[in-house]
Chain A
């Protein structure tokens, strides 16, 4: 299992090296890996269909008790089969589609890495591993949307997709941690059975909202749906794979996966049901409004994702059956349609439905498969899409609440979807032949393989719905429901309300298509209202982040060292004083009797030196006074038998004086720049800060929170550290990693000073 997940990554990292060496065969050869994975996963169908859940566990960070656990049940198996199956055709397709492109090797690196991450995501049982794979899919998606990185639009769309999904990912991380706290485990396999505990937990609402924020952004739910159509800047194989069949379904997967743990509450039903239904309606409306081939498909994907979310929200037996059936149906027809969109673009160079027509005679096979897939999208018998749509209508009609609203939404959406399907399935192929940029030919086998197989499967599953239903879908529905449910798929349900709704939407949809050339521009005029839409919100948020950080930087990083120090010291002062005053109001009364008189003499000298350094107008005098102060402190260290610290202090003082002497003569003459007011302020803060620190030092001698650790060092420095000098043993052995940090800081400081001086010296020269 580990190999199955990792093999994609391994091949991915070899891909840039292999791609130029394999030439034209690259697609077919790379396709062998996902194909082998598909066969391997398919061999689990009998075991999983019998209701078993397989767990594979590998230690990952044993010290923290994090295991890499993979869970294979109906749901993850369904996803794994879709990912590897559609992945096979995408890899083959890209071999021809992107042949001769400069970055084909990079493309294979990313798409294979994505496939492996997606497999990891749907198979992970550990929440941490799941999250890591989740973010990996976001990152590979970002890189793939920005594949044509020379184009500004591709870069902007990639960044938008990344920001939206990764912002959601952060929320998801918080949500998953809360879920683990509430459910008492990071393992999905254990969380799936502790649903009652989680739903009753005080953290249920916050963790639900955080997780849904993650899934809604990932699966392009309203109001985060805007990034998905923009992601169409990616090459078509990417759109077909990531942005319709797999990655955008990661959110749907997680909601379905967590349904036994989180689902069934009123909040769940309302949130998922209403937001899903809204997304569905907006998706189909936007699809009907658009004319770009990939835009239409992208919005219809938004519609499908909304439908899935809504069905998971409804959560009845019927709804869950409908969800898994719809998931399969959508992946089949949408994968096929996207690949056909790529073929149209590749053969004609045209990306807009208004400029397409009469291509049937030039590419009959493509037209045939487009027609079949579009029938499935429209939900017309005998395609599998029809089975799924009938189930969807039944489910929304039986919904335990908000049934009327979502039924209305579903019917309205279905009408528009029929029209969209007709636009895709009829418009480019029939009617008068419109002029094209290139002379279209029938697509080669590598491009046609995907649409052919996927569309045919859609037809086959429609005619024999028990074929997927009996084994795979029932196991998947079982996993989503968390308890055995009866899955019965059939083409013919008899004359009932769902059939009536289907027929109505079909009739209205065809009417809409008949008038498409009028309906579409009318709807497109509504685009004037888009400035009220969520995408503008995203732009505003991004713009305000930039302007806030701009003004914030100007305020905080003002470039005046004195203000930095002032800020640091006053903040520390406030925090310390606050803590002391509120918690330890009793002032310490130090016992001074044991201190020898000569100590006081040294103290007096250092105090005088400090006073002189502050008041003198001679720089050399100030340096000398600071030196005297430092030597005084060193003397005190020696008096209290801290020889090492004393020696260090003396040496540091020496070196400091050397450095100061080196720069002293370069400074301009001493002038008073500061006003007496600000000097008073600085003096006041300095005295207050010094006083507070003194107070704290005195208090620490009286209050002892913990037994001092020095006892341990004194006892063990000899036996464990092989040394009698405790200070040194602590520095280089007991707390070596602290010292390592310190010497790194020292090195960085030296490099910083060096860089600063060097830059200045070069400025001078030029």
Chain B
């Protein structure tokens, strides 16, 4: 499955971090501009898939750090947890969004919120689901 292209291999090293950063940027801007967890997750998954094609399976698994199956679980857990603060703190219905705006040094005003946590959950589930399938198919290939 490796592609023996020197240009692609060299570019792959630089593209992976760039693409992951890009996916995070898409994830975080999603609330105001086109983007969000689903799109960000797809970009990140595509980035790892690209890395898989340029390098090999071991390298791709290493670049991912965690087993993609665990990402699914973590993502679902985060998404469900994000529903709870409103219910527990204020007795509001499940999934009522909570906002905690705060000013951080360097970054300026940042709005932390449960929808953001939820979106991160979506992001992780999408990466996990796509890569579970892609990496396993690649493994079967070898």
Interface, chain A (partner B; CB < 8 A): 643-644, 647-648, 651-652, 654-655, 658-659, 662-663, 665-666, 721-725, 727-729, 731-733, 736-737, 739-740, 743-744, 746-747, 749-751, 753-754, 757-758, 761
CB–CB B80/A740 < 8 A: yes
Which one of B99, B133, B140 lies within 8 Å of A722 (CB-CB)? Answer: B99
The reply to whether B79 and A740 form a contact with Cβ atoms under 8 Å apart is yes
List of A residues within 8 angstroms of B31 by Cβ: 721-725, 728-729, 732
Residues from chain A with Cβ under 8 Å of B45 in the complex? 655
Q: Verify B132–A725 contact, CB threshold 8 A.
A: no
- Tell me if B125 is interfacial: C-beta within 8 Å of chain A: yes
B10-18, B34-42, B58-66: which lies at the A interface?
B34-42
Q: Kindly state whether residue B89 has any CB partner on chain A within 8 Å.
A: no
Q: Are A725 and B128 in contact, with the CB atoms below 8 A?
A: no
Contact present for A647 and B39 (CB under 8 Å): yes
Instruction: Give the CA-CA distance A41 to B132 in the complex, in Å.
Output: 61
CB distance from B19 to the nearest CB of A (A): 12
Assuming A659-B137, A721-B115, A725-B33, is B95 touching A750 (CB within 8 A)? no
Asked if A662 contacts B99 (CB within 8 A), the reply is: no
Residues of B within 8 A of A743 (CB): 75-76, 79, 121-122, 125-126
What's the Cα separation between A757 and B132 when bound, in Å?
11
Indicate if the CB atoms of B122 and A655 lie closer than 8 Å. Answer: no
Q: Which of B103-140 contact A (CB under 8 A)?
A: 111, 113, 115-116, 118-119, 121-122, 125-126, 128-130, 132-134, 136-138, 140
Neighbouring B residues of A754 by C-beta, 8 Å = 69, 132-133, 136
Beta-carbon contact of A749 and B129 below 8 Å: yes
Q: A724-B31, A732-B37 are in contact. List 17 more A-B contacts (CB 8 A).
A: A644-B35, A644-B39, A647-B39, A651-B46, A658-B134, A666-B141, A722-B99, A724-B32, A731-B119, A737-B94, A739-B122, A740-B95, A750-B133, A751-B72, A754-B132, A757-B137, A757-B140
Contacts of A758 in B (CB 8 A): 136
Closest to B138 in A: A662
Asked whether, in the complex, the Cβ of A732 is within 8 Å of the Cβ of B94, the reply is no
A643 to B34: give the CA distance in the assembly, Å. Answer: 6
> Which chain B residues border A733 with CB–CB below 8 Å?
97, 115, 118
How far is the CB of B40 from the nearest CB of chain A, in Å? Answer: 10
| Complex interface: chain B residues within 8 A of A666 (CB) | 140-141
Q: Contact between A732 and B119 (Cβ–Cβ < 8 Å)?
A: yes
In angstroms, how far is the closest chain B Cβ from the Cβ of A445?
54
Chain A residues touching B, majority SS: helix
Residue pair B49, A725 in contact (C-beta under 8 Å): no
27 examples of A-B residue contacts, CB within 8 angstroms: A648-B39, A648-B42, A651-B42, A654-B42, A655-B134, A659-B133, A662-B1, A665-B141, A723-B31, A724-B31, A728-B31, A731-B37, A731-B119, A731-B122, A732-B37, A732-B115, A732-B119, A733-B97, A736-B83, A736-B115, A743-B79, A743-B125, A743-B126, A750-B133, A751-B72, A753-B132, A757-B137
How far apart are the CA atoms of A648 and B130 in the complex, in Å?
A: 14
Once bound together, how far apart are the Cα atoms of A647 and B122, in whole Å?
Answer: 16
- Other-chain residue from A655, A739, A744, A757 in contact with B49 (beta carbon distance below 8 A): A655
* A736 to B78 alpha-carbon distance, docked (Å): 13
Bound CA span A387–B140, Å = 83
> 8 Å CB contacts to A: which residues of B72-92?
72, 75-76, 79-80, 82-83
Residues on the A chain within 8 Å of B111, using CB: 722
Task: For A749, list chain B residues within 8 Å (CB).
Answer: 129
A535 to B10, CA, bound (A): 78
What total count of A-B pairs have CB within 8 Å? 141
Query: B55 at the A/B interface (Cβ < 8 Å)?
Result: no
Pairwise interchain contact A662-B137, C-beta atoms closer than 8 A:
yes
Name the residue on B nearest A652 (C-beta). Answer: B42
A648: chain B residues within 8 A (beta carbon): 38-39, 42
**Chain B residue at minimal CB-CB distance from A736:** B95
Contact between B38 and A731, CB atoms less than 8 A apart = yes
Rounded to whole Å, the gap between the CB of B68 and the closest CB of chain A is 8
Bound-state Cα–Cα, A725 to B130, Å: 25
CB pair A724–B33 under 8 Å, yes or no, is yes
Pair B72/A725 contact, Cβ less than 8 Å = no
Closest beta carbon of chain A to B92's beta carbon, Å = 13
Q: How far is the CB of A261 from chain B (nearest CB, A)?
A: 37
Given the complex, which residues of B lie within 8 Å of A722, measured CB to CB? 31, 97, 99, 111, 113
Min CB distance A679 to B, Å, is 29
Measured between beta carbons, the chain A residues less than 8 angstroms from B79 are 739-740, 743
Which residues of B have CB within 8 Å of A651? 39, 42-43, 46
CB-based nearest A residue for B43: A651
Q: Which residue of A lies closest to B45 (CB)?
A: A655
Choose one: A644, A655, A731, A744; the contact of B130 (CB below 8 Å).
A655
Query: Which residues of B1-33 are within 8 A (CB) of A?
Result: 1, 30-33
- Say yes or no: A747 contacts B34, CB within 8 Å: no
Q: Please give the distance in Å from A289's CB to the nearest CB on chain B.
A: 60
How many whole Å from A733's CB to the nearest CB in chain B?
Answer: 5
Q: What CA separation (Å) do A737 and B38 show in the bound complex?
A: 15
CB pair A725–B38 under 8 Å, yes or no, is: no
Tell me how far the C-beta of B103 lies from the nearest C-beta in chain A, rounded to whole angstroms: 16
Q: Chain B contacts of A725 at CB under 8 A? A: 30-36
For B134, the chain A residues whose CB sits under 8 A away are 655, 658-659, 662
Query: In the bound complex, what is the Cα–Cα distance between A685 and B66 (angstroms)?
Result: 45
A residues less than 8 Å from B141 (CB atoms): 662, 665-666
Instruction: Please give the distance in Å from A538's CB to the nearest CB on chain B.
Output: 44
A640 to chain B, nearest CB (A): 14
Q: Which residue of A lies closest to B97 (CB)?
A: A733
Q: CA of A723 to CA of B129 in the docked complex: distance in angstroms? A: 27
B138 surroundings in chain A (CB, below 8 A): 662
Given contacts A724-B32, A729-B31, A736-B83, contact A747 B128 (CB under 8 A): yes
Assess the B129–A654 pair: CB atoms within 8 A: no
A688 to chain B, nearest CB (A): 33
Most buried by B among A643, A644, A659, A732: A732
Closest to A754 in B: B132
Interchain residue pairs A-B with the least CB separation, the first 10: A750-B129, A723-B31, A651-B42, A643-B34, A662-B137, A732-B115, A728-B36, A724-B32, A743-B125, A736-B95
